[in-house]
Amino acid sequence: MSTGDELKAAVSARRDLGPDFEDAIVESFLDKMGQEVDRRVDERLAATNPKAAARSQKASEGQRLALAIVSLALGTVVTLAVILWAEEMWVIAPVWFAIIVVNAIFGASNR
C-alpha cells in the first residue's frame, strides 16, 4: 500500500470511527510511516555501503555489555537467594548454565 493510500485509509477510518479514535488512528499512521522511512533508509544504506548495512544488523557493543551485566547481576541474585533461603543448592548450576547458554547464543548470532 502506498503512502497516499495509507493516508486515505487513515482519513476514511477517522471519518467512519469518529473523533474518539483520532489519536489511535494518527498513532497507527505515524508508526506505519516511520517503518516505511526506516525501510527506505535501510535500502539506501545497503545500496551505498553493504558493509554498513550488515554492521547495523549486528548487536552493538553496548548491547553485549548490557547483556553481560544483566546476566551477572541475575546470576548473583539467584545464587544469593538460593544460598540464603533454599536448602537445595543444585538449583544454582542450571541457572548459571542457562545464563551461559543465552550469552553464547547471543554472541554467536552476532558474528
- What pLDDT tens digit does each residue of the chain (111 aa) get? 666 677 677 777 777 877 777 777 777 777 777 777 778 888 888 888 766 555 555 667 778 888 888 898 888 888 888 888 877 888 888 888 988 988 888 877 765
Q: Please tell me whether residues 66 and 43 are part of one structural domain.
A: no
Give the cell for residue 11.
482519513
**HSE of 97, CA atoms in CB hemisphere, 13 A:** 5
CA distance 26 to 11: 9
In the prediction, which pLDDT does 26 show? Answer: 74
Per the structure, the complete domain to which residue 7 belongs is given by 3-57
8 A C-beta contact, residue 51 and residue 75: no
Cα dihedral across residues 53, 55, 61, 64: positive or negative: positive
CA distance 62 to 66: 6
Q: Please tell me whether residues 44 and 18 are part of one structural domain.
A: yes
Among residues 37, 57, 77, the one where a domain terminates is: 57
How many distinct structural domains can be found in the chain?
A: 2
Q: Is the pTM of this model over 0.75?
A: no
In the prediction, which pLDDT does 1 show? Answer: 65
Nearest-5° Cα angle at 85, 80 to 86: 95
Query: CA 80: distance to chain centroid?
Result: 30
Single-letter residue type at 5: D
CA distance 36 to 31: 9
Q: Please tell me whether residues 29 and 74 are part of one structural domain.
A: no
Q: Please tell me whether residues 12 and 24 are part of one structural domain.
A: yes
